[in-house]
Structure 1
């Protein structure tokens, strides 16, 4: 499965929850998508093809964001999307 297929599925699932899945551009290492959900829930999501890992700069940026209190996730399969969104919405993964 390609990264763009996983990204499309994430955006579709966020849309179903009446949220926004914003593409991040311009700052090296920032996760691919900013997911905004109802009731002020938000997280950064780095998308990868199955089995791929974030680059060193991406890991550094996610740690910086987490230190500021933001949630960051790496998603490398469509199966991983539901647990991430459930966690953000306050449910069990």
Structure 2
């Protein structure tokens, strides 16, 4: 299993432990969207791009992340499983 998949699975487990949903996000016809949509109790949401350690988003992904951010969405990139708890806390406290 690729490291990116392991990070994605751990993210899903940790979000569930906090009472949230970690949905695989696809948007047909709109390439470059983040991998996951996180929905936490209280209406706290975020888009998450999961990458293998050290990998960066492609230019189209960066463009989509910027579009979502400009619309007020929280967009984060995870390339290290040690950052999952920090990002979940950020989502919950937003």
**Length-normalised TM-score, structure 2:** 0.92
Indicate the residue corresponding to 2:7 in structure 1.
Answer: 6
1:47 aligns with 2:53: no
Match of 1:16 in 2: 17
Normalising by structure 1, we get a TM-score of 0.93
- Kindly report the root-mean-square deviation, in angstroms, between the aligned alpha carbons of the 2 structures: 1.3
Q: Deviations over 1:12-66 (max 9, x none)?
A: 0000011111111233100000000000000000000000000000000000000
- Tell me, in whole angstroms, the C-alpha distance in 2 between the residues paired with 1:36 and 1:59: 22
In the comparison of the two structures, how many residue pairs are matched? Answer: 91
SS in 2 for 1:18: coil
Structure 1 residues not aligned, in runs of 5+: none
4+ runs deviating over 4 angstroms: none
Uncovered stretches (5+) of structure 2, i.e. residues with no partner: none
Residue 68 of structure 1 and its aligned partner are, at CA, apart by 0.4
